[in-house]
Amino acid sequence: EAAVTQSPRNKVAVTGGKVTLSCNQTNNHNNMYWYRQDTGHGLRLIHYSYGAGSTEKGDIPDGYKASRPSQENFSLILELATPSQTSVYFCASGLGGAGAETLYFGSGTRLTVL
Amino acid sequence: GEKVEQHESTLSVREGDSAVINCTYTDTASSYFPWYKQEAGKGLHFVIDIRSNVDRKQSQRLIVLLDKKAKRFSLHITATQPEDSAIYFCAASRGVGDNSKLIWGLGTSLVVNP
């Protein structure tokens, strides 16, 4: 079973502070994704990566940066956190390619920005 | 922009009955339609998908139907069990193999009553 681990599970941050959300996958998947989940909006793609050293902007990248230092790790960085970034964040990984679209999700990080 | 709409935000069924969740999409070029399940406090978990070259797919108690003319697809869960209770998300993509193009529905909360 593919494994995606997120840390921390819960985080409380102050407005203007820096927040780093971490994601680790042991599936040797090329592709990794960061989503946020909000009531009324469903899942929205923030950043994604096709492999180590690559990051791409998703649908809502403003206020977020991403880093993929290795095949296994993908981080989401909020340099100056704002209350509007209070949300549940999910990391996912996938092999990618036709016939291999299945995404494997972590358990999520609940971020509260005060 | 393109959208995926899930028609039922909540659905309640009796154990043993069938549950049907309906989604419509706007992008005529969509060709890949996955379904994911989210149990309370957890990440999403892939359950079944269908591609545009077929109109029906079954995996045990799950059946997915695709009507390309109506731009509609549906998830049928037969002989429901309490463990089927969860939020179900539909999604659509035109980019086969590229999950960065997935458009997500808002989710349907299914409750199976014993």
- Using one digit for the tens of pLDDT, what is the confidence trace for A22-50? 999 999 999 999 999 998 888 999 999 99
CB count within 10 Å of CB A15 equals: 12
**Contact present, B108 and B87 (Cβ < 8 Å):** yes
Q: Which chain B residue is nearest to residue A57, measuring alpha carbons?
A: B100
Contact call for A31 and B49, based on CB within 8 A: no
Say if residue A1's pLDDT is above 70. Answer: no
Q: Name residues whose C-beta falls within 8 Å of residue A35's C-beta, 6 or more positions apart in sequence.
A: A43, A44, A45, A46, A89, A90, A91, A92
Report long-range pairs for A67-71 (Cβ below 8 Å, ≥24 apart): A68/A32, A71/A28, A71/A29, A71/A30
Taking the Cβ of residue A99 and every Cβ of chain B, the question of whether any pair is shorter than 8 Å is answered with yes
Please name the member of B41, B99, B106 whose beta carbon is closest to the beta carbon of A40. B106
Q: Whole-angstrom Cα distance, residue A53 to residue A58?
A: 16
What letter would DSSP give residue B93?
A: B
Count of CB contacts below 8 A, A vs B? 64
Average pLDDT, chain B: 94
Contact call for A33 and B45, based on CB within 8 A: no
Average pLDDT, chain A: 94
Say if residue B70's pLDDT is above 80. Answer: yes
Please name the member of A33, A56, A97 whose beta carbon is closest to the beta carbon of B97. A97
What pLDDT, on a 0 to 100 scale, did the predictor assign at position A109?
97
Chain A neighbors of B87, CB-CB under 8 A:
none
Distances in Å between the alpha carbon of B15 and those of B35, B77, B78, B89? 21, 11, 10, 21
Taking the Cβ of residue A105 and every Cβ of chain B, the question of whether any pair is shorter than 8 Å is answered with yes
Q: Name residues whose C-beta falls within 8 Å of residue B69's C-beta, 6 or more positions apart in sequence.
A: none
**Contact present, B90 and B64 (Cβ < 8 Å):** no
The string of pLDDT tens digits covering residues A71-108 is: 999 999 999 999 999 999 999 999 887 777 899 999 99
A8: closest CA of chain B, how far (Å): 14
Say if residue B98's pLDDT is above 80. Answer: no
Q: Name residues whose C-beta falls within 8 Å of residue A83's C-beta, 6 or more positions apart in sequence.
A: A15, A113, A114
What pLDDT, on a 0 to 100 scale, did the predictor assign at position A2?
63
